Amino acid sequence: SSAASSALPSPLPPTAEAVVRAYTERHGTAPTVLARAPGRVNLIGEHTDYNDGFVLPAAIDRDTWIAAGPRTDRDVDALALDESGAEDRFTLSATPPHFEGGGWRDHVRGTLAQLVPLMAQPVGLNLVIAGDVPMGAGLSSSASLALGLLRAAQQITGDSALNGKQLARLAQQAENRFVGCQCGIMDQLASAEGRPGHALLIDCRSLDTRPVSLPAGTTLLIAHSRVKRGLVDSAYNERRAQCEQAARALGVPALRDATLEMLAGVQLEDKVFRRARHIITENTRVLEATEALQAGDLVRLGALMKQSHASMRDDFEITVPAVDQLAALLQDVAGDQGGARMTGGGFGGCCIALLKKELVPQALEALERGYRSPEGLPALVYLCEAGPGAQAQAWPVGTAAA
C-alpha cells in the first residue's frame, strides 16, 4: 500500500533517533530496519467492531518506533526505552511463554508468536522500542507496538506478502489468543492503514476501509481524564458476551445484522436489550457521521457525537462520571463548530473533540478551569493530526530493502 512504501519522516523525530542510537550502543552495529506505527483515536463507533459493524477512527501523529536487526540465533532480544530500559529475551523456536505480570513483554511475545508460523525462514530479532503514544490512555499504544513489530519483522525477513489487513488480523489474534483481551480489529486496522488528514470508515465485517477527509481547519483534541482504564478488564469481555447473547436471541450472526424493529420483537433482559440498542444505533450514527464529515457538516457531526456519548453512558454503561463531565465540557466548547465524546473502550481514558482550530485556546481554558480528575489533577491534553499508517524501511536510509 502507499502508506507502507512512503518514506519515513525527515528529519526523524527524537524518539526515532533515540531507538537507533540505543540499538547501535547495545549491539555495536546499526539496525537494519526502522519501523513506526501510530496510535489511534476513534471519532465514533464504539464497541461496534466486534459486532461486525462500522467504526470511524483516525491514526494519530504519535507513534511507537522500533529499531530492528536480524540475529544469527532464533532469539528475540528486546529493549523498551519507555519502560526504564526494561529488557526481554526469549526464543522463537517454540511458542514463547507468557511473561509473569504481562505488560509490554506479553505484547511483543504474543505478536511475534502469531508471525512465526508464517515465516519462510527461521529468524531471530534484536529490537529497541520507544514511542510517544500515551500508554494506558485508550489511544492504542499496544496496537501500535504490535503493528510496528509486524512491519519491522516483515521487513527483516523479506516476507512482505502480508498486507495491512492481514497484519492487523495477526495483531488482533495476539490480543485474543495470547494477551487475553477479546478486542475487535479497529485499533490494529487504524494503525495499519491510517492516512494523513483522514479518518477511516472501517466495515469490520469485510475489513474494507474508506478514507474520509477531516474538514479543513479542524483539529483533533484528545483530553485524558486521568482515570486509568484496563483493556483486559473483565468488563470489556462481559460487554462482548452480552452482545453475542443478544445476537443469538435475535437469530442473527452479529448485531450488525439487527434492527431496532427486530429488537422490539424479542424478550431480553433489560441490560442486554440496552447493550444491543447501543450497538444498533451506534452503527447508524457511524454511517451518518461519515456523511456529515464528507459534507463538512459540523453541526450534524456534533449532534451525532453527543448522541453516541449518551448511548455509551446510558445503554452500554462504559463511561465514568469524570469522563461524562469531560465530554459535557468539550461539547459546550464545540458548540456548533465540532463535537466531542468519550473515545475507546471506556471505564476511564479519553474524550475526543473534533474542533475548529480557533476553538483550541477556549477548550484548553475551559478544561483548566472546569475539569479535575478524582485525584484533583487537570486533564492531559494531546493535540493531534491524523497521520499515516504503520511502515518500515531499510536502515540506514538508502540501503536496499530486502
Residue ranges that bind ligand GAF, judged by CB under 6 A: 42, 46-47, 49-50, 183-184, 186-187, 231, 344-345
For ligand GAF, give the closer residue by CB, 47 or 285: 47
For ligand GAF, give the closer residue by CB, 69 or 345: 345
CB 343 within 8 A of CB 189: no
**Shortest separation between residue 50's beta carbon and ligand GAF, angstroms:** 6
For ligand GAF, give the closer residue by CB, 42 or 126: 42
**Does residue 187 have an active-site annotation?**
yes
**Shortest separation between residue 71's beta carbon and ligand GAF, angstroms:** 31
Helical residues (DSSP H) of 223-269, grouped into ranges = 234-250, 260-264
**Shortest separation between residue 341's beta carbon and ligand GAF, angstroms:** 11
Nine cell digits for residue 370: 472546569
The SS3 assignment for 35 reads: strand
Q: What is the distance between the alpha carbons of residues 343 and 43, in angstroms, rounded to a whole number?
A: 7
Main-chain phi, psi angles of 224, to 5 degrees: -90, 125
Residues paired with residue 219 on neighbouring β-strands, in sequence order: 355
**Shortest separation between residue 345's beta carbon and ligand GAF, angstroms:** 3
For ligand GAF, give the closer residue by CB, 198 or 341: 341
For ligand GAF, give the closer residue by CB, 110 or 184: 184
- The DSSP annotation for 177-208 comes to III-----SHHHHHHHH--TTEEEEEETTT--
| Per annotation, catalytic residue among 88, 187, 324, 332 | 187
Q: What is the distance between the alpha carbons of residues 212 and 220, in angstroms, rounded to a whole number?
A: 14
* b/e 237-255 (16+ beta carbons within 10 angstroms → b): eebbebbebbbebbebebb
For ligand GAF, give the closer residue by CB, 285 or 356: 285
For ligand GAF, give the closer residue by CB, 33 or 246: 246
**Shortest separation between residue 232's beta carbon and ligand GAF, angstroms:** 10
**Shortest separation between residue 239's beta carbon and ligand GAF, angstroms:** 9
Q: What is the distance between the alpha carbons of residues 391 and 63, in angstroms, rounded to a whole number?
A: 11
CB 229 within 8 A of CB 75: no
- Residue carrying the nine cell digits 536502515: 395
Distances (CA, A) of 265 to 132, 260, 261: 48, 9, 7
Q: Which of 45, 41, 24, 33 is nearest to 288 (CA)?
A: 45
- Residue carrying the nine cell digits 491514526: 59
Q: Which of 229, 221, 231, 224 is nearest to 188 (CA)?
A: 231
- Contact residues for 392 (Cβ-Cβ < 8 A; gap 6+): 4, 33, 34, 35, 36, 148, 151, 152, 154, 155
**Shortest separation between residue 48's beta carbon and ligand GAF, angstroms:** 7
Catalytic machinery residues:
187
